[in-house]
Amino acid sequence: MSPELAASLIHFLGMMLLIASFWILTSSQIGACIRAYATHSFLLALITAVIAITNHVEHLLIPALLTLVLKTIVIPHVFFRIIRRLGIRKEVESYINIPFSLLLAVLLVFVSFYVTGNDKILKPVAFSEFIPLAVSTVFFGMLMMTTRKKAINQVLGLLLIENGLFLMAITMTFGMPLLVEMGIFFDVLVAVMIMGIFVFKIRDAFESIDADDMTVLKG
């Protein structure tokens, strides 16, 4: 792969990643949201693979493969099962409407480009264009967690944050030691399982998974 081709491919993939992030935020159906997350993870896997090949860090291929398997296939599958078994309404309920979240998201992208613009920190990194994208993915995840009502959306938001952190990690360091990577993947998988169980428990206790109902827990 020639360097020029690699560079343009990476630019293209980065753009797609940002679009996928927007797609997650704008989906009005939970199903679409999960599909968008799967796409986001798929793009992440591709980016990881491209970085691995262009920079000859072959061990990054393993995280890429794991991302593909776990985040694009297994976790979305688990999510679909959860919403089927919960039998909840398919619409995403939000405190703010979708155009407004879009507006906020655009603002957050600006912020992330602004705060990562400090040359002193970011100059030596090879793929420095990914850093604002990673930060904005984290921001999107947080925005999702703070504005959505259903507990399942909060879990999705958390996973989005994790994707952002992963992107940051591979671009800044070309991947952490393999053991750490494996640990993180295992963590994410276990977290999804546990949070899935929690969502069921919340449903049993409050007869809904609306996080609003949890205000009665306050002392």
Residue choice 147, 159, 164, 185 for contact with another protein (CB under 8 A): 147
Residue choice 5, 193, 198, 212 for contact with another protein (CB under 8 A): 212
Contact 137, 22 (CB under 8 A): no
Rg (CA), the chain: 18
- Return the range that interacts with another protein (CB under 8 A); candidates 42-50, 59-67, 146-154, 175-183: 146-154
Can residue 145 be called a binding residue for another protein (CB under 8 A)? Answer: yes
Can residue 211 be called a binding residue for another protein (CB under 8 A)? Answer: yes
Q: State whether residue 91 is helix, strand or coil.
A: strand
| C-beta closer to another protein: residue 67 or 136 | 136
Can residue 2 be called a binding residue for another protein (CB under 8 A)? Answer: no
- Return the range that interacts with another protein (CB under 8 A); candidates 8-16, 46-54, 118-126, 167-175: 118-126
Can residue 115 be called a binding residue for another protein (CB under 8 A)? Answer: yes
- Return the range that interacts with another protein (CB under 8 A); candidates 9-17, 49-57, 65-73, 142-150: 142-150
Calculate the alpha carbon distances from 213 to 6, 22, 217 in Å. 50, 28, 8
Can residue 111 be called a binding residue for another protein (CB under 8 A)? Answer: yes
Contact 186, 125 (CB under 8 A): no
Give 159-212 as a DSSP string: HHHHHHHHHHHHHHHS---HHHHHHHHHHHHHHHHHHHHHHHHHHHHHSS-BGG
| C-beta closer to another protein: residue 187 or 212 | 212
**Cβ within 8 Å of residue 159, ≥6 positions away:** 37, 71, 75, 141, 188, 192
Return the residue matching tokens 């906020």: 104
Contact set with another protein (CB under 8 A): 95, 108, 111, 114-120, 139, 142-143, 145-149, 154, 211-212, 214-218
